[in-house]
Structure 1
Amino acid sequence: MSGLSCARTLGRDSVERSPVGPSRRPSGTATSTGRPEASRWRALWVTLVAGFMILLDVTIVAVALPSIQRDLGASPAAVQWVVSGYALTFALALVPAGRLGDTIGRRRIFLGALAAFVLCSIAAGAALTITLLVIARMAQGIAAGCLAPQNSALIQQMFTGAERARAFGLFGATVGISSAVGPITGGVILALATGPQGWRWIFFVNVPVGAVALVLGYRLLPRVAPGKKGHLDLSGVALIGCGVVAVLLPLVQADSGGVRRLWWLFPVGALLLVGFGRWERRVAAQGGEPLLHPRLMTETRGYATGASLATLYFMGFSGVWIVFALFFQNGLGYSPLQSGLAVTPFAVGSAGAAVVAGRLVERMGRLLTVLGLVGVIVGLAAAALLLRFAPPSVAVWAAAPALLVGGIGSGFVISPNVTMTLREVPVQMAGAAGGALQTGQRLGGAVGTAALPGTYYLVLASSGDDYRLAVAASVGVGIAAILTALGIALIERRTNPGSTAAPCAPEVAHGHCHATQS
């Protein structure tokens, strides 16, 4: 047996020592976090329910857009902002809200954002005009963006060692399932809430769920003293905010020609984001408090790789569901509910695999992500080929096993990557780091949801309405992005063999960690 020692980076004096192996304490006993084990897991479920709700709202509304347009007499461009406005403000709030949670308290931001989300859901459901609905949705997006980074930060705060990996496994399952079941959930709600006003229940359903989560969160979330007080880097907020808006705005308006009209915002956004990076380095060099510390990218092992991988994966992953919905509904004549049920195998596989992956990532590390990406590529490629060449009457049944394989692979990607990206981030920076990670996911998702449907319509127009060729070609574009993510994972595994080892337990006194290697 030989000792494997790995040096920790930022702020290790404030990180609590934790066991590497699975916890075997009886339920209800105290842990290194200072909270009974059962109480911490109940608190986790509260955050997961809230996280599921806000992520579900990214996609659930899409199936209700035709009903909203008819009922409110809105134009296609205006009704698109019901989806786009939420996505835009969601991404805009993530990093500043993560930093605020680090400084003034994650519990406080979580509860405040959850209460605001519930109120905005009421306003959206009760909106009498499309303008009021869009305003409510944009406010709802801000609340969601403030809540989202607190989820991963609270996991960092409440759990350590192997328990943290299990918690991130559940968190990853929540992310994957919420992305996949949005169309299904929306279809079920519209099927149950009949009539021209039925779309309002898409928003009202958040109210009882959010209210219960708010009460339980108030009782269960840990009351921990906030981090070091300091001023918020307002210049950094302005730079990253304007940069994110400039990059996202053409993409969220892609359906109404936004990319063609607003293409010039892409280089503007890139310059602003580069300027944000340079500004943050300057603030850090002068001993200030940057919004997102540069050393997260340069010195925190696994963070830069994980953030890049997540952005590329969501670029290929997110747009696939829109393409499948277009194919099943417009190409095969399915109802919204049938269309959602057709991709259920992917959601089921992703949910089950993500929970298992939370236990495996401690032993397998980045290898698990590599295997997962291969599974997603194989599953989506097989599904695309079956939808292209199998008879339409049996195509959806033939593609179900392939989608199940892709879903299992996805479960081995999202939650392990979150764990490996954030596991060495100091707890006092967990909110900002989680916010930046999710910002990358939202940016990647926006690119994918613009590029893949764009490819679908382009192939459809050039092939004389060949829906089967269009779905195969657009899913192929998504696979190309996932292949790039696979390349990043393979490079990290080759250049950083330590990424395949279990994470070390930090030593408070010396800032080092030790694990045993056979």
Structure 2
Amino acid sequence: MTMTETGSHLAAPPGYRWRWLGLAVVLCAEVMDLLDSTITTIAAPGIAHRLGGGTTFMQWLGAAYTLAFALGLITGGRLGDLYGRRRMYLLGAVGFTAASVACGLSTGPAMLIACRAAQGAFGAILIPQGLGLLKDMFGPKDQAKAFGAFGPVMGLSAVGGPILAGVLLGADLFGTGWRSIFLINLPIGLAGILGAVLFLPSVRPTRGQRLDPVGMLLVGAGLVALLYPLVQGRELGWPWWSFALLGLGAALLTVFAAHQVARSRAGRDPLVLPALFRRRSFTGGLILGVVFFTAVMGVTLAFALYLQLGLGYSALRASLASAPNALGIVAGSIVGGAVAGRLGRRVLHLGVLVIAVGLAALAGLLATVGAGLAWWHFAPALLVLGFGLGTVFAPLFTFVLGDVAGDHAGAGAGLLNAVQQVATATGTAVLGTLFFGLAGPRPDAADWTAALRTTIPVAIALLAVTFALVFLLPRHASDQG
């Protein structure tokens, strides 16, 4: 296999023979991650009953994964830059699969939480390699199409996780019960490992580079200090220390940024290259991503809670009711990926407007029909909402990572994933707290309906900010002026 040089990094040629099969391997990892970040939603009560855990245990089934994932994201991406993305993909896939099996074999709450944390840690090594590998395998013309494949996978996996959990729990395959939701990763993981060996390019740096251990410690501690109170704060009533941790997290990340600048000026390898932030597409895309994901993930959580708490849906039924949203994401991703090259940043404007229309339609539905809603009432608004989401996803990835040099693509992808994690947690905390506060202490269906109806305009306001932030981006992903 011949390689071409990109900066200080060797890359597979743009016409890499197995690039589309390689894309399927990358998406396999995304499926495992997204399924495991959502699949415990429906299974948590049953797992707690079987293993003897309480409500705190159920919260930590998700929190252990999220925090460990965030802790290692940027470092995981940088490991791929330094030691080869295929090698790190394989390490992450093997570790993630093994941790999934260990989850399925857990005998108590502590063991399961520890194994969930191990899943998150290996996921942090695995996931950032995907976007870097796409840059290695695809030339500029095909990158938008490759990034466009992420939207459908994200939508279907996010909705499909709870549905799959319900099916597996109901089927009780071979008497495995709840354990099957983790053991299902074994065949998926083995397929990803085999595919990586066969179809991913072996790409390595051209010069020796070193990790930045101080930077790793600072960014990891900073992200955990930010995310822990955002994940747990609402459940604990926002104690004083949660705000202290948020301040500490912001301070640690500020020190991390200064450390990266100093290290770069000294001619030493930083964890995140400060020069990346001089690129309008990268910096503007990250800022936009913070506001965008805060809005859409926050309101998505509020809607999911409304279906279960306000309308009395089970988690499985709520997931099925949200299926039109996933279908819209698939369609929007296909369209967004196809027109992004021609429309440039205007496709992001279009997507944000469509999302706002979908949310406005949902708010109007709540105002006119009220609490007497059936699942099919939501379908048109959710389809429009999903289409807008899909239209934004693919071009946003292209803008943020399209012009990042190959030897820093992993760190850039890790940073983008970290931004998504922080924004998702922020949206969940802020809009979730608003939603519960508006519902009141003893809410009925009408109270939950009114709470969601009032929360939606806040998300639309954040989308208006997102629309304005799109102007920070160059007209096209390849323009840096």
**Where on the TM-score scale, by shorter chain, does this alignment land: which range?**
over 0.9
Q: Alignment partner for residue 269 of structure 1, among 236, 246, 249?
A: 249
| Residue correspondence of structure 1 range 293-372 to structure 2 within 5 A | 293-297=273-277, 299-372=278-351
Q: Alignment partner for residue 433 of structure 1, among 391, 405, 412?
A: 412
The answer on 1:126 being equivalent to 2:105 is yes
CA contact under 8 A between 2:43 and 2:165: conserved in structure 1?
Answer: yes
Code of the residue aligned with 1:77 in structure 2: it is: T
Q: Deviations over 1:176-208 (max 9, x none)?
A: 433343333333333333899622222111111
CA contact under 8 A between 2:9 and 2:205: conserved in structure 1?
Answer: no
SS at match of 1:500: coil
SS at match of 1:262: helix
The answer on 1:453 being equivalent to 2:462 is no
Q: Deviations over 1:268-296 (max 9, x none)?
A: 11110010111100011111110001111
Whole-angstrom distance in 1 between the partners of 2:105 and 2:366: 40
CA contact under 8 A between 2:15 and 2:139: conserved in structure 1?
Answer: no
Structure 1: 5+ residue stretches without partners: 1-10, 18-30, 494-498, 505-511, 514-518
SS at match of 1:410: helix
1:472 matched residue in structure 2: 453
- Judged with a 3 Å threshold, the aligned counterparts in structure 2 of structure 1 residues 215 and 104 are, in CA distance, closer, same or farther, namely same
- Judged with a 3 Å threshold, the aligned counterparts in structure 2 of structure 1 residues 155 and 139 are, in CA distance, closer, same or farther, namely same
TM-score normalised by structure 1 residue count: 0.86
CA contact under 8 A between 1:99 and 1:432: conserved in structure 2?
Answer: yes
Q: Alignment partner for residue 221 of structure 2, among 237, 242, 245?
A: 242
CA contact under 8 A between 1:56 and 1:182: conserved in structure 2?
Answer: yes
Instruction: Measure how far apart 1:453 and its partner are.
Output: 2.4
- Judged with a 3 Å threshold, the aligned counterparts in structure 2 of structure 1 residues 323 and 182 are, in CA distance, closer, same or farther, namely farther
Whole-angstrom distance in 2 between the partners of 1:41 and 1:483: 36
CA contact under 8 A between 1:183 and 1:340: conserved in structure 2?
Answer: yes
Instruction: Measure how far apart 1:258 and its partner are.
Output: 6.4
Code of the residue aligned with 1:110 in structure 2: it is: Y
- Judged with a 3 Å threshold, the aligned counterparts in structure 2 of structure 1 residues 196 and 335 are, in CA distance, closer, same or farther, namely farther
| Residue correspondence of structure 1 range 384-463 to structure 2 within 5 A | 384-461=363-440
Whole-angstrom distance in 2 between the partners of 1:13 and 1:437: 21
The answer on 1:481 being equivalent to 2:481 is no
CA contact under 8 A between 2:132 and 2:409: conserved in structure 1?
Answer: yes
SS at match of 1:450: helix
Code of the residue aligned with 1:201 in structure 2: it is: S
Whole-angstrom distance in 1 between the partners of 2:311 and 2:432: 17
Whole-angstrom distance in 2 between the partners of 1:195 and 1:216: 28
Worse-matched range after superposition: 192-201 or 211-220? 192-201
- Judged with a 3 Å threshold, the aligned counterparts in structure 2 of structure 1 residues 208 and 314 are, in CA distance, closer, same or farther, namely same
CA contact under 8 A between 1:190 and 1:199: conserved in structure 2?
Answer: yes
Whole-angstrom distance in 2 between the partners of 1:195 and 1:80: 28
Whole-angstrom distance in 1 between the partners of 2:260 and 2:267: 11
2:268 matched residue in structure 1: 288
The answer on 1:256 being equivalent to 2:231 is no
CA contact under 8 A between 1:363 and 1:502: conserved in structure 2?
Answer: no
CA contact under 8 A between 2:10 and 2:203: conserved in structure 1?
Answer: no
Instruction: Measure how far apart 1:255 and its partner are.
Output: 4.6
Instruction: Measure how far apart 1:229 and its partner are.
Output: 1.9
Q: Deviations over 1:418-465 (max 9, x none)?
A: 001111111111000010011000000111122222222211225843
Whole-angstrom distance in 2 between the partners of 1:348 and 1:117: 28
Whole-angstrom distance in 1 between the partners of 2:96 and 2:297: 23
The answer on 1:111 being equivalent to 2:86 is no
Whole-angstrom distance in 2 between the partners of 1:140 and 1:356: 33
Q: Alignment partner for residue 492 of structure 1, among 468, 472, 476?
A: 472
1:503 matched residue in structure 2: 478
1:98 matched residue in structure 2: 77
Whole-angstrom distance in 2 between the partners of 1:435 and 1:227: 21
2:147 matched residue in structure 1: 168
SS at match of 1:225: coil
CA contact under 8 A between 1:170 and 1:354: conserved in structure 2?
Answer: yes
Code of the residue aligned with 1:468 in structure 2: it is: T
TM-score normalised by structure 2 residue count: 0.93
- Judged with a 3 Å threshold, the aligned counterparts in structure 2 of structure 1 residues 227 and 180 are, in CA distance, closer, same or farther, namely farther
Whole-angstrom distance in 2 between the partners of 1:384 and 1:403: 11
SS at match of 1:264: helix
- Judged with a 3 Å threshold, the aligned counterparts in structure 2 of structure 1 residues 195 and 266 are, in CA distance, closer, same or farther, namely farther
Worse-matched range after superposition: 425-434 or 184-193? 184-193
Whole-angstrom distance in 2 between the partners of 1:71 and 1:411: 38
Code of the residue aligned with 2:460 in structure 1: it is: I
- Judged with a 3 Å threshold, the aligned counterparts in structure 2 of structure 1 residues 367 and 388 are, in CA distance, closer, same or farther, namely same
Whole-angstrom distance in 1 between the partners of 2:290 and 2:175: 38
SS at match of 2:238: helix
Code of the residue aligned with 2:16 in structure 1: it is: R
Whole-angstrom distance in 1 between the partners of 2:120 and 2:29: 14
CA contact under 8 A between 2:402 and 2:477: conserved in structure 1?
Answer: no
Whole-angstrom distance in 2 between the partners of 1:311 and 1:227: 34
Code of the residue aligned with 1:432 in structure 2: it is: A
2:258 matched residue in structure 1: 278
Code of the residue aligned with 1:476 in structure 2: it is: P
The answer on 1:224 being equivalent to 2:199 is no
Whole-angstrom distance in 2 between the partners of 1:446 and 1:212: 31
1:84 matched residue in structure 2: 63
Code of the residue aligned with 2:475 in structure 1: it is: T
Whole-angstrom distance in 2 between the partners of 1:434 and 1:492: 20
CA contact under 8 A between 1:71 and 1:197: conserved in structure 2?
Answer: no
Structure 2: 5+ residue stretches without partners: none
Q: Alignment partner for residue 23 of structure 2, among 16, 30, 44?
A: 44
SS at match of 1:47: helix
Code of the residue aligned with 2:118 in structure 1: it is: A
Code of the residue aligned with 1:475 in structure 2: it is: I
Instruction: Measure how far apart 1:472 and its partner are.
Output: 2.0
Whole-angstrom distance in 1 between the partners of 2:250 and 2:34: 26
